[in-house]
Structure 1
Amino acid sequence: MKVGKLSTCLIDKGRHNNIMITDMDIYLFDLQGYIHLEEALTQKEVDGLNACVNKIPSLSPGQWYGHIHGHTYGDKDGLNYQQIYEAGEPFEELIDHPSWFHRVRFFIGGEGSFDEMHGPMFIDENLLNFRQSGEGIGLHNGGKLGISRCQFRYLNGKFHCNQINILIALTDIGPGDGGTVIVPGSHKSNFDNPDFGQFSMGARGKCPSLMRGAIEIHLRAGDALLFVDCCTHGSANRVNDGQRRTAVYRYGPSWGNFRHGYQPSPELLDRLTPERRQIVWPQTLIPRTPQV
């Protein structure tokens, strides 16, 4: 993975030993609301993920394959396979992948506080997204909204972000492929872009990449985009033939709850490492034995 000068060491156990976060990571995240992590995955990892996906039968919204659920947010934003960490070990590896684990934990900022009472973080949604030609998603979110779930905050020398997204490219995403669109710095904005309504979700209007202030980010397969959810974001409309594949894992404090009504299967919990299990199922439910 390509990084800048290593400076701040965040040490954990096992596979996370000596993973570093850089001063440039911190500066760019604070300034822009996102970081482009080049070569976050190896080609072998990308190949393993795509091979895993290719074994899943084609699903329509509402259909289940095991514990993976076909889903969509709308009619033109592509197809999602929700709970994709149920698909097998290649997707389980993403839960606490060393290319982003410490960065995510640092920007959530829960260490030493109630936010890590149940574990280092929690995944409230994880999905695989497919987009074909003609599909994309309008712009949404922004600092002006003040949504607690999407919060960006820096206080007393620490970040306090309630949702950090990791978007992983499983295919190359270049011009015409429907790249992710972000408005840099919008996580701190107090105002809407005056043209926002023309590019927003539901408007089905102009391509989001054309809005003033927005940029389209191109990724190579294996790159990842780390961003705080309150950044205004969406995607360009795909115009090329072929398919765009991305995986998205959304992380927040350990006390969070699932965005949708999903939960990890008993089979997944049984095969996960203790560290990963704590991230996908932080709470140990209190057994209820009626006594009176």
Structure 2
Amino acid sequence: MNGILNEHIPNETHQFQFITLDPVFMELMAHPGTLRIIRTMIGEWMRLDHAYGIQMDRLTVERGHVKPNLHGGPRHDHGEHQYQWFDGKMYNGLIVVMYALEDINPGDGGLICVPGSHKSNFRYRPPVDSHLVANPSFMAGDMLIFTEALVHGTTTWTSDQRRRALLYKFSPGYSAWVSSDGLNDVRAIAANDVQRDLLRPPSVGKRTPVVIPEG
């Protein structure tokens, strides 16, 4: 995947579009193992809301692309970011499926979060350097899934190596964080029923579940 992205994405770019560059990114969107996890978080009427990639180096902050920050949290963004446990089942709003394409070692920076904050009953975002903030490490190929109700963000990248990750964001079938019109180009290249089902606009009435292949 890095080989494909290297051909299309300049090194200094912080955020980029990738899903239409090669069929492999569509296949990753619809990976059956990942979809089964997503189903437990937002239900079998799941849909892809949007996707983008991010990359960072030591100069990303200096270029003004991003500042150390925390955002998200319960009921943020018009109440869309949510986590609830009801009758033995988990319910979420927008969730993030992140694939690390490069190793991220302890202390490198990049993704930060406040573990457990998705269950909070009041708004609280600590300082970025608080002891409550975690900076997880990854090996290339690792996947992380989290709800946008989790307070999370970015801190300064300190490694000499590049940070690069792909983010697929999924919503329950009734919800859209961004306009579904932005997926028109992606729908045009959908190769099978699972991909097409994941790219449907949001709706409730008569919406059928996404059928996840075995394997």
Q: TM-score range by the shorter chain?
A: 0.7 to 0.9
Stretches of structure 2 lacking an aligned partner (at least 5 in a row)? 204-215
Task: String of CA shifts for 1:4-51, please: whole Å, max 9, x gaps.
Answer: xxxxxxxxxxxxxxxxxxxxxxxxxxxxxxxxxxxxxxxxxxxxx111
Alignment of 1:213-228 (within 5 A): 213-228=132-147
Stretches of structure 1 lacking an aligned partner (at least 5 in a row)? 1-48, 61-77, 200-207, 285-292
Q: Which has the higher contact order (CA 8 A, sep 6+)?
A: 2
8 Å contact from structure 1 (residues 179, 218) kept in 2? no
2:63 pairs with 1:127:
no
One-letter amino acid of the counterpart of residue 227, structure 1: F
SS at match of 1:104: helix
**Alpha-carbon spacing, 1:247–1:146, altered in 2? closer, same or farther (3 Å):** closer
**Alpha-carbon spacing, 1:211–1:143, altered in 2? closer, same or farther (3 Å):** same
Task: String of CA shifts for 1:211-261, please: whole Å, max 9, x gaps.
Answer: 131111000000011101110001221012231100000111123335266
Of residues 174, 177, 188, the one that matches 2:108 is 177
SS at match of 1:93: helix
State the 1:133 CA deviation: 0.8
State the 1:162 CA deviation: 1.4
**Alpha-carbon spacing, 1:161–1:130, altered in 2? closer, same or farther (3 Å):** same
User: Quick one: distance in 2 between partners of 1:221 and 1:149?
Assistant: 31
TM, length-normalised to structure 1 = 0.60
Which protein has the larger Cα radius of gyration, Structure 1 or Structure 2?
1
SS at match of 2:139: coil
The aligned residue for residue 2 of structure 2 is 50
2:182 pairs with 1:262:
yes
Of residues 270, 274, 280, the one that matches 2:193 is 274
SS at match of 2:48: strand
**Alpha-carbon spacing, 1:123–1:150, altered in 2? closer, same or farther (3 Å):** same
The aligned residue for residue 106 of structure 1 is 40
SS at match of 1:238: coil
User: Quick one: distance in 1 between partners of 2:77 and 2:71?
Assistant: 13
User: Quick one: distance in 2 between partners of 1:144 and 1:79?
Assistant: 27
2:83 pairs with 1:158:
no
Identity within the alignment, %: 27
8 Å contact from structure 1 (residues 181, 214) kept in 2? yes
**Alpha-carbon spacing, 1:149–1:130, altered in 2? closer, same or farther (3 Å):** same
SS at match of 1:101: helix
State the 1:59 CA deviation: 8.7
**Alpha-carbon spacing, 1:243–1:219, altered in 2? closer, same or farther (3 Å):** same
User: Quick one: distance in 2 between partners of 1:139 and 1:56?
Assistant: 29
